[in-house]
A = this chain, B = another copy of it.
Amino acid sequence: MNTVKVVVGGPVQFWPSNLQDNQISGPFVGVDRGSLRLIKMGIRPDYAVGDFDSVSDEEFKLISQNAKKVIRVDPVKDETDTELGVMTAGEHFASSEIDVYGFSGGRLDHLLTNLLMVLKPNIKPYLERLKLIDSQNQVRYFLPGSHQIEKINEMKYLDFCPLTAMHLTLNDERYQLNHKWVSQPTSYSSNEFIGDKASFSFDDGVLMVIQSRD
């Protein structure tokens, strides 16, 4: 499956090294200042989207000249920058997975809004195609059912985080759960893979799963 990369405006030092080193190939959707960063790396985003409040007139001109398509939205909008990027990627690259970069950084309000966006009706359709990737974490989301994920090289830790109420079963991880009732948002962190794969199941809502490393 192809993967479209969405780059939003969070601090570059939180990007994974392969993006910092320009080792990731497109297609790219750049959002606001994220578009500018791509262009300055010599990458022509397929879409540049945003209200572009975070860039100067001159910078916006540079974006307009280098992005293949520009979608400029009203500054008073319901969607966050990240949501706009995911929706653009989801609509225009219909069968692609969607990797999001630049979602994390020092501001916890931005981070939390990004981590929780999958619960919103306009993002939920793309939930299972979505990954949020930074230098130390890969975040995925799941809908009810049985699932299996593969261990990412160099990612030691595994976090299961029910965002909504559910019965959760962790089958073959270091710390297991058997149809555990979770009534409120809970982060079961510092779990680990036993082998190369981990399987789990749940019956309702949305589960966030994070692989991370020190």
Given contacts A104-B108, A190-B109, contact A184 B119 (CB under 8 A): yes
State the oligomeric state as a number of copies. 2
**Which of A110, A111, A139 has the most B CB atoms < 10 Å from its CB?**
A111
Given contacts A116-B185, A119-B184, A185-B119, contact A159 B109 (CB under 8 A): yes
- List chain B residues, Cβ under 8 A from A4: none
Rounded to whole angstroms, the CA-CA distance of A14 and B105 in the bound complex is 11
A112, B187: Cβ atoms closer than 8 Å: yes
- List chain B residues, Cβ under 8 A from A164: 184-185
Contact pattern, A 55-98, Cβ under 8 Å of B = 1, otherwise 0: 00000000000000000000000001000000000000000000
- A contact face: mostly helix, strand, loop, or mixed: mixed
In chain A between 149 and 196, which residues have their CB closer than 8 angstroms to a CB of chain B?
Answer: 157-159, 161, 163-164, 184-187, 189-190
8 tightest CB-CB pairs across the interface, nearest first?
A109-B159, A109-B189, A106-B136, A112-B187, A113-B187, A113-B189, A108-B137, A107-B212
